[in-house]
Amino acid sequence: MKAIWAMALMLGCGTILAGNLQDIPLKDINGKDTSLKAYKGKVLLVVNVASKCGLTPQYKTLEATHRKYKDQGFSVLAFPCNDFGSQEPGTNEEIKEFCSSKYDVTFPIFDKLHVKGPERHALYTALSGEGSPFPGDVKWNFGKFLIGKDGKILKRFEPKVAPDSPEVTQAIEAALAAK
């Protein structure tokens, strides 16, 4: 019986450790293995993006927000997603070219992934799954999650909330001011 409890305890601890956002394996837009460890100690705005969406012009305000706060320890992180209306059909190379040429994007872009459904990436399971402080499926492209310096999820913003809205700006500034 003690062995069963010990095993359950070990499995439970593994689940907690697996929930650390910084440990989740990712790939950048060039296919290189990475993780959020590269951004440890920074405030992050994680956004699922698409190039053929009515909200695609948010790239402009995402870039402006990134540039405004990047020297203070902030970064936007973009995760292309084709889960909503097939609005991100491009290859990683096409996505990178689109973001660069159309919106002069300088923030990091990652490999295309799924944010919902049975193929949902582990990052989005952590961000929006049952164990998240803000559970519930991502509703559309340009859903945003604010991550604190400690790697914890601080806020969630729905797709139509603009990156430069007072709501988002105040949350970013508060997260940057936190110790």
Catalytic positions are 53
In DSSP notation, 22-85 reads GGS-EEBTTS-EE-GGGGTTSEEEEEEE-SSSTTTTHHHHHHHHHHHHGGGTEEEEEEE--TTT
Whether 98 contacts 120, CB under 8 Å? no
Which residue is associated with the tokens 């019986």?
A: 1
CA gap 136, 105 in Å, rounded = 29
CA gap 78, 81 in Å, rounded = 9
